Amino acid sequence: MTDSLADEVLRSDAPVPGGEPRAVRRARALALRAAGRSVPEIAGELRVARSTVYGWVRHVPTNPEWRADRRRAHAKLMTDARWAGHHDERERRRDAARDAARARIGVVTDRDLLLMGAAIYWSEGRKSKPWRRDERVTLTNSDPRLLGLFLRFLAVCGIGRDVAHYRVSIHESADVAAAEAWWAEVLELPADRFRRATVKRHRPTTTRHNTGADYHGCLVVEVPRSRELYWTIEGIVDATAGRHG
């Protein structure tokens, strides 16, 4: 606070309702205003009329960025309020559609799992190339539901969760140990089947949205000695795609 403002604050020392000297409350109002608080906020905190606060702080310059932030926050509140009913209806319809789909599917058979697991792998898994023959089953993904479905496919193929190897692929800015523990708990994986994580270099200039407590990286599922399983997956995909021979 500048000397001129301080002198002005100390001109009056009469108490205001609540017993606090007016000069003290006025000084607090000036400090709050300098920090970017609005007149209604200051009045509410100090329990003083808005007109009184305005008289105290009207000469204090405000930062244009604070005013812009307040306008944006107010606009967002108004938009959220305007669309609240629409969002609630959308969530209700979403829940109803998901419930109807679950009821329609009913019990998932082993054949269903074979078809879905092969399709998942052929779209997301590592595939052999004409210039690099590598017929090993390795799937990398960040969606625990998709990975859980693939693990059920492996179980139908006779490969339990204690057979595959698992590896977390994650940015170095994240907590690797916490991510491994999270994957092991969510997918019920044995901790001793995890291999050393692949840690990716963090580039501050890159805009990433997968950060924070909900970021667990990707999980790599590797099936050892899986050449025959790879051929099986390839055959299932050929059959469902209408390719025979």
User: Are 233 and 119 in a shared domain?
Assistant: yes
User: Are 41 and 119 in a shared domain?
Assistant: no
What's the whole-number mean pLDDT along residues 218-242? 94
Domain of 20, CATH number, reads: 1.10.10
Tens of pLDDT, residues 160-195: 999 999 999 999 888 999 999 999 999 999 999 999
125 neighbors 139 (Cβ within 8 angstroms): yes
Kindly list the distances between the CA atom of residue 99 and the CA atoms of 90, 102, 187, in Å, as whole numbers in the listed order.
14, 5, 23
Q: pLDDT-based confidence at 3, cuts 50/70/90?
A: very low
Residue 89 domain-assigned (yes or no):
no
Give the end of a domain, one of 57, 72, 96. 57
pLDDT at 199: 92
Range of the domain at 28: 3-57
Q: pLDDT-based confidence at 10, cuts 50/70/90?
A: very low
User: Are 130 and 29 in a shared domain?
Assistant: no
Q: What percent of the chain has pLDDT over 70?
A: 83
pLDDT at residue 8 greater than cutoff 50: no
150 neighbors 120 (Cβ within 8 angstroms): yes
User: Are 236 and 151 in a shared domain?
Assistant: yes
pLDDT at 201: 80
Rounded distance between C-alpha atoms, residue 117 and residue 109, angstroms: 12
User: Are 144 and 217 in a shared domain?
Assistant: yes
Residue 68 domain-assigned (yes or no):
no
Residue 178 domain-assigned (yes or no):
yes
What's the whole-number mean pLDDT along residues 215-242? 94
What's the whole-number mean pLDDT along residues 16-37? 77
pTM of the full predicted structure?
0.63
- Give 168: exposed, middle or buried? Use CB within 10 Å, 0-12, 13-18, 19+: buried
Give the end of a domain, one of 23, 42, 57. 57
User: Are 124 and 42 in a shared domain?
Assistant: no
Tens of pLDDT, residues 38-71: 888 888 888 888 888 888 888 877 666 666 767 7
pLDDT at 207: 55
User: Are 9 and 115 in a shared domain?
Assistant: no
Number of domains observed in the structure of the chain: 2
Domain of 159, CATH number, reads: 3.30.1330
135 neighbors 233 (Cβ within 8 angstroms): no
Residue 8 domain-assigned (yes or no):
yes
pLDDT at residue 149 greater than cutoff 80: yes
Q: pLDDT-based confidence at 216, cuts 50/70/90?
A: very high
Residue 34 domain-assigned (yes or no):
yes
Tens of pLDDT, residues 95-120: 999 999 989 998 999 999 999 999 99
DSSP sequence for the chain: --HHHHHHHTT---B-TTS-BHHHHHHHHHHHHHTT--HHHHHHHHT--HHHHHHHHTTS---HHHHHHHHHHHHHHHHHHHHHHHHHHHHHHHHHHHHHHHHHH-SPPHHHHHHHHHHHHHHHB---BTTB----EEEEES-HHHHHHHHHHHHHTT--TTTSEEEEEEETTS-HHHHHHHHHHHTT--GGGBPPPEEEPP-TTS--SS-STT---EEEEEETT-HHHHHHHHHHHHHHTT---
User: Are 49 and 169 in a shared domain?
Assistant: no
